[in-house]
Structure formats: C-alpha cells, structure tokens
C-alpha cells in the first residue's frame, strides 16, 4: 500500500510576511455596526476525500519541514469531524523519537488579530490504518526573540511503532476556541469571541484565535540523552 501514497519531494512553499509599522494604527470601532465574521470555507466543502488521494511529504530526521494546511487541501473525516489535511511520511526508525509541531501565529486579516492552527495529529501504518490519535495534546506558547510566536505540541513515537504516516488536521470544535496569551496560558471557549475579536479594540488582542488552516513547522528528532 506504500505505493498508493506518492511522496512529494518538492518543498512546500514557505510563506513569510514581514511588516514594519511606524507610529500608531487607530481602529475606529464606532464605525463597526456588525462584527466581521471569519472566513470558514470548510463547511462548504463536501465530505470527504480518500486517504489514497493524499500526497505524503517526506519528513527526514533532524530537519524542519514547513507545511501549509490550506483550503485547497483534501478534506478527511476524523473522529473529531472533517478537516483540511496534510500528510507526512515519517522517518523509519526502530528506536523512539519525538515529533514536534510548531503552528505559526500570524495576522492574516486587516484588523491584525492573531490566529493559528491548533493542530491535531493522526498516525497511520503502512496500510493507512490509524495507530495513534492525538487530538487533545497540551499546547505550549513559544515567544522567540525573532520571528512569529508559535503554538507547539510534542508527540512521542514509541520504539517499534508501526506508524509510517502522520496526518495534520483540526476540527470545527477547536476553531470555536482560542488561547489566552496572558500567563498562565489557557485554552478558552470562544463565547462571544467573534464579537470581541472584531468589535472591540485592545482586550480581545490577548487571545489567539484557532483557525481551520495554517502554517506548521514539523521536526522529527531523537530524544536527548
């Protein structure tokens, strides 16, 4: 069945946006009569595509791979619901190793409120059967000195695991949540989240909105001694 998933050796496009702002940007929220609604294209997509149609991007050991889960990707049905999905071909190791997923926090809309994908991960064997499902992992907010903030999850692949592929996905339930960026960091429900997000200035900026698409940096590495 390995031949059914054809690896893609062309690197996924890395989208990097840099902006330099001078002075202050003032948003006149008195002009907003209704909160803008985030773009949600997944609900309009028919379900679902076949796993056999996915292209698996090879993930070498100790090398970052950057993938963008986008609206042009296949839609797969998971136990948490349907989702846009990207597939990775995992390194073949007999020993234990770690999988690190760093979701990039960006500011895609004109209102400059941050959003990122809170990734879920499903591991498949060579016959495309699930061997592990990670859809409730602890999230770590990383704030590097340079570059965008990152939402990180780390998974352990056990010695002798049958896992050969990893699927990156999310869920509609997850996109109804956000992350408070005030320590201690906390995942919160999106009660009136859109109204706050688009209708009021500063307070709502302290949440990262979880989106159905996003850029994810992936790294496979052996556990440090």
Domain ranges of the chain: 47-174+213-222
Which architecture characterizes domain 47-174+213-222 according to CATH? Sandwich (2.60)
Q: Rg for the chain (alpha carbons), in Å?
A: 18
Please give the backbone phi and psi of residue 203, each rounded to the nearest 5 degrees, phi first.
-60, -40
Q: How far apart are CA 208 and CA 181, in angstroms?
A: 7
Per-residue pLDDT of the chain (225 residues; tens, 9 = 90+): 444 444 433 333 333 333 333 333 333 333 333 333 444 567 777 788 999 989 999 999 999 999 999 999 999 999 999 999 999 999 999 999 999 999 999 976 555 678 999 999 999 999 999 999 999 999 999 999 999 999 999 999 999 999 999 999 999 899 889 998 888 888 888 655 544 444 333 344 578 999 999 999 999 999 876
């Amino acid at each position: 069945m390995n031949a059914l998933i054809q690896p893609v050796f062309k690197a996924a496009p890395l989208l990097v946006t840099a902006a330099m702002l001078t002075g202050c940007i003032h948003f006149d929220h008195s002009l907003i009569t209704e909160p803008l609604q985030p773009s949600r294209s997944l609900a309009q997509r028919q379900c679902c595509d076949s796993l056999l149609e996915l292209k698996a991007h090879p993930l070498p050991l100790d090398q970052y791979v950057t993938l963008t889960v986008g609206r042009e990707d296949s839609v797969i049905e998971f136990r948490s619901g349907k989702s846009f999905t990207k597939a990775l071909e995992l390194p073949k190791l007999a020993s234990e190793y770690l999988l690190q997923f760093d979701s990039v926090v960006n500011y895609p809309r004109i209102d400059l409120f941050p959003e990122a994908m809170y990734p879920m991960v499903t591991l498949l064997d060579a016959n495309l059967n699930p061997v592990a499902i990670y859809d409730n992992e602890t999230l770590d907010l990383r704030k590097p000195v340079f570059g965008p903030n990152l939402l990180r999850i780390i998974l352990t692949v056990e010695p002798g695991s049958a896992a050969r592929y990893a699927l990156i996905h999310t869920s509609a339930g997850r996109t109804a949540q956000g992350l408070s960026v005030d320590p201690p960091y906390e995942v919160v429900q999106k009660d009136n989240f859109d109204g706050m997000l688009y209708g009021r200035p500063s307070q709502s900026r302290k949440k990262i909105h979880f989106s159905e698409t996003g850029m994810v940096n992936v790294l496979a590495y052996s556990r440090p001694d």
